[in-house]
Amino acid sequence: MPDLNKQFNRTTVALLRGDITRQEADAIVNAANSGLRGGGGVDGAIHRAGGPSIMQECDQIRRMEGGCQPGHAVITGGGNLKCQYVIHTVGPKYRDGRVDEPRILRDAYQSSLTLANTYELKSIAIPSIGTGAYGYPLEEAAEIALDTVHKFCQTDTTLSDIRFVLFDQFSYDAFAEKFAKLS
């Protein structure tokens, strides 16, 4: 299946299928929990592949700031990963779509991108936040993810390479369908 990409302003946005822990980028984004305590899914994979230094930094952030609220983002080093940083963000736990889930999901992407910009990063790889253990319906989540990134690219950003790394075919297809409609 081909990687898809489009140019939005000065940023190339790409979709690819794969394991985000294998990506070379300035930063990869983690779909974490508010306690920054690790878990399953992409979070588990990142801590396993990245080694213990990432959790040590998460422990420190928890002690200093109490963790990371849904919709917010924090940054650590990349440990053994092929990235300098991991940006940890927290999506909403999906209930019925009426308790602020869309805004929180949008904020999770926006906070991650803003943090990348603050660190003057050029490349970032992002998974589908919230659509695994947290249960966000995939099509709606894909639309929010891509719309947030699309709008972000209209701002003055240091990011020239934003990659969505989708783990499974369902996620890739859902993102690809929404991506085709963006211009």
- Our finding on whether 128 is near ligand AR6 (CB under 6 A) is yes
- Interface with ligand AR6 by CB under 6 A: which range of 28-36, 58-66, 112-120, 174-182? 28-36
What is the DSSP annotation of 81-148?
Answer: SSEEEEEEE-----SSS-SSHHHHHHHHHHHHHHHHHHTT-SEEEE--TTSSTT---HHHHHHHHHHH
What is the CA angle 33-84-158, rounded to 5?
95
Is 100 tagged catalytic? Answer: no
Q: How far is the CB of 117 from ligand AR6 (least distance, A)?
A: 22
| Identified binder of ligand AR6 from the candidate list 21, 76, 112, 157, rule CB under 6 A | 21
19 vs 65, which CB is nearer to ligand AR6? 19
Residue 136-175 contact track with ligand AR6, rule CB under 6 A, x = bound: -----------------------------x-xx--x----
Q: Which residue has the tokens 């995939």?
A: 138
Is residue 166 within 8 A of residue 128, CB to CB? The reply is: yes
**Please, which residue, 147 or 158, has the CB nearer to ligand AR6?**
147
Of 3, 19, 26, 43, the catalytic one is 43
Binders of ligand AR6 among residues 46 to 85 (CB under 6 A) are none
Q: Which residues contact 130 (CB under 8 A, 6 or more apart)?
A: 31, 91, 92, 94, 105, 108, 136, 141
**Bridge partner residues of 126 (DSSP):** 164
Which residues does the annotation mark as catalytic? 43
The footprint of ligand AR6 (CB under 6 A) covers: 19-21, 31-33, 39-43, 45, 91, 127-134, 165, 167-168, 171
